[in-house]
Amino acid sequence: MRSSASSSATETRRHRPAPSTRNGFALTGRSRALDPRIHAVRPDIADVRLADQVFAPHYAAPVRRTLRADAALREGRDAASPVVARLGAGDPFELLDITGGVAWGIATGAGLVGYLDAEVVAV
């Protein structure tokens, strides 16, 4: 007659999954270099609509806004960054990030991605 302790140990060994033979994994699928001037992608965040094309630590859903005043769409966060487009009051803007008084998103009329002062984005 077997003791219940040895019986339990045998049961545990029998139901324990076999060790995995995989040493790692591979990501598969498309991998494209996207142009950040026309695709809303940065090293830290990307437009959720690009999730099937690019890996990012965070994705954001664009929020459609309207500009309250004329604005310069800049290449970078800094006010001294090159201007990529001049936008007018009433122009549509798809907001993806707003940090430190600077908005980042897509000027849909121009089809360009960039930064502008957050105060011109209507809430």
pLDDT digits 0-9 by tens, 39-83: 999 999 999 999 988 889 999 999 999 999 999 999 999 999 999
Task: Write the pLDDT tens digit of every residue in 2-29.
Answer: 555 554 444 445 555 555 555 654 556 6
Q: How many CA atoms lie within 13 A of 13 on its CB side?
A: 6
For the beta carbon of residue 114, count every other beta carbon within 10 angstroms.
27
Output the pLDDT for position 11: 47
- For 100-118, what is the mean pLDDT? 97
Question: Would residue 33 be called left, alpha or beta, if left means φ above 0 and alpha means ψ between -120 and 50 degrees?
Answer: beta
**Is 87 within 8 Å of 122 (Cβ atoms)?**
no
Output the pLDDT for position 22: 54
Task: Determine the Cα–Cα distance for residues 45 and 53; give it in Å rounded to an integer.
Answer: 13
Catalogue all structural domains in the chain, each as residue range(s) with its CATH number: 35-120 (2.30.30.40)
- For 115-122, what is the mean pLDDT? 96
Output the pLDDT for position 20: 52
Contacts 24+ apart (CB under 8 A), 47-56: 47/94, 47/96, 47/106, 55/27
pLDDT at residue 102 is higher than 70 = yes
